[in-house]
Structure 1
Amino acid sequence: MSLDSEIDALTHNHVYLGKRHDENARRTLWVVLLTAVMMVAEIAAGIAFNSMALLADGFHMATHAGALGIAALAYRYAKRHATSGRYSFGTGKVGDLAGFASALVLGIVAIGIAWESVARLLDPSPVEFGEATIVAVVGLAVNIVSALLLGHGHDHGHDHAGHDHHHHERDNNMRSAYLHVIADALTSVLAIAALLGGRYLGWTWLDPAMGVAGAIVIALWSWSLMRDTASVLLDATDTELEAEIRTLVEGPGDAKILDLHVWRVGPAAHSAIVSVTGAARATIGERLRPVHEIEHLTIEIR
């Protein structure tokens, strides 16, 4: 084997995109189209029928369309620049950046919806319940179809033979889109309940009250996604994977880990730097071979 061939065999790329990257990108585009159409219908109907619950659902769907648009762009950007040498560990975390941006915008929108809903509670105005209910039901149907489209690509887990670690391929870009649809479906249900209560029971206060409830749901979802994506963007360690590495390396008793860094570089890919004393590099590499989550491993012998 020539020197060039040996070098080629040892080099590797830094493409850490999820296995379902292309499929998830296509599903997201379909949901963007569905959502954009329904968003316009719900906002227009909310204004025409003077329903805060319907407007809240429509504006949430508007942010949902925007977030899905960001998700679609993130998939495209990550794929296009996956092999670029500009990014040390590839573009596997672009989706987490998009998810964080989406969560941040949703948090702001939740505050806006809550503010307007409280204002409607203090100063009620008439609502055309029948027409608004029909639009809300159609919106819920769109949410259900969108959830079915995105659900196939959401948070699939699998086990690896050879060790006990149960690893999930967590695509936070897809997760942001999926949770957005689920939260949107919930606000649609709240809107329908409010409109029916107002029409048949005379509870006009229920419409803005459900607007407040929807805002709280959106805010909670936003915080959850913001927390998880920020953790990835800040290279938080995977404690379960770190514990597994320590067990495999130090288990036989002839090696000691002096320094260990484990962080996520893609939906199903981690990078690790292991500083060890007491054993050879080849020995440590062999012990860590079963840990398939580690796509980029650096072993330092001291």
Structure 2
Amino acid sequence: MSGHSHVFLGERHDANARRTLWVVGLTAAMMVAEIVAGHVYNSMALLADGFHMATHAGALAVAAAAYAFARRHAEDRRFTFGTGKVGDLAGFASALVLGVIALGIGVESLGRLFDPRPVAFLEATVVAVIGLAVNLASALLLSDGHGHHHHDHDHHHHDHDNNRRAAFAHVMADALTSVLAIVALLAGRYLGWLWLDPAMGIVGAVVIAFWARSLLRDTAGVLLDTTDPHLEAEVREQVEGPGDARITDLHIWRVGPGAHAAIVSVTGGVEAEAIRRRLVPVHELAHVTIETR
């Protein structure tokens, strides 16, 4: 039975891997620029954002490594159902990093709210604008192919490439902090609203924490083999619809982006091949095991 394929990497795996590598390069370059500028202009805000971006660069590197690992070991028999979940594991780790970043930004912002520090507004604004441009370019790279091609079923929230989604979340978190920083820096320079910088930091921390929570929930669900109730209902409808078969045990779990495995135990005297034909319309099922009694 070794001829049966267990490669469930997702149709855009290689394209997403290439885009993620480009984003890693862009983020790392911007990180170095912000840290250098922070030293030159004696700006703690730029230094903090530079080191904050370093954590994103690290998380993006993990995403790129996950793509490479999944591709390299796609045919490795040690992985019972292939390496389609490697991206979800990387996404879960990235979500944890996002949560830590949100906490760090929130704590630092609260501290600065009660203890304002002088900021080199002009220089910091220029670098923040450049950083935003890099973030938007990175987001554009990662958003290509963001859509899914499912015409008859609505399971799109379970079909995401969570590794690419995590990389996208990191880039958007950076873009958000850049936008909030630009608004706060301009208000600080022209209106004297020094309090707005830490206030915007708190807003950014809350939004990033929300993204991290959503990503944690979805990736943890994949890693823990949670079932998709809609997909399960569809399988039951296809198998039991004619009325001559009854499902006694059903397990459905995700093995890769858009790909699910299923174990279906059926009674009623219907042959396994007949059940398999009934499940053909359920295109999310990539690996089906049928037990008949």
* Same structural fold, with TM-score higher than 0.5 when normalized by the shorter chain: yes
Aligned to 2:149, the other structure's residue is in SS state strand
Larger displacement relative to structure 2 (201-210 or 26-35): 201-210
- By how many angstroms is 1:215 displaced? 1.6
Aligned pairs (5 A) from 1:1-302:
11-46=3-38, 48-50=41-43, 52=45, 54-55=46-47, 57-154=49-146, 156-160=147-151, 164-168=152-156, 169-278=159-268, 279-302=270-293
**CA contact 1:280–1:301 (8 Å) conserved in 2:** yes
Q: 1:198 & 1:126 partners in 2: Cα distance?
A: 10
Q: TM-score, normalised by structure 1?
A: 0.91
Cα deviation digits, residues 240-282 of structure 1 (max 9, x gap): 1111101111111111111111110000210000011112212
CA RMSD of aligned residues (A): 1.6
- Partner amino acid for 2:230? E
**Aligned CA distance change for structure 1 residues 56 and 229 (closer, same or farther; 3 Å):** farther
Instruction: Give the 3-state SS of the residue equivalent to 1:157 in structure 2.
Output: coil
Residue 291 of structure 2 aligns to a residue whose secondary structure is strand
Q: TM-score, normalised by structure 2?
A: 0.94
Do the aligned partners of 2:85 and 2:255 also contact (CA within 8 Å) in 1?
A: yes
CA separation of 1:110 and 1:44: change in aligned 2, threshold 3 A: farther
The question of whether the paired residues in 2 share the 8 Å contact of 1:137 and 1:192 is answered with: yes
Aligned residues: 289
Q: Which residue of 2 aligns with 1:3?
A: none
Q: What residue ranges of structure 2 are gaps of 5+ in the alignment?
A: none
Equivalent AA in structure 1 for residue 202 of structure 2 = V
Q: Distance in 2 between matches of 1:214 and 1:42?
A: 19
Deviations 1:124-171 (A, max 9, x none): 1111111110000000000111011111132x21125xxx32343410
Alpha-carbon separation, structure 2, partners of 1:28 and 1:16: 19
What secondary structure sits across from 1:244 in the alignment? helix
Rounded Cα–Cα distance in structure 2 between residues aligned with 1:127 and 1:190? 15
Give the C-alpha shift of residue 220 in structure 1: 1.4
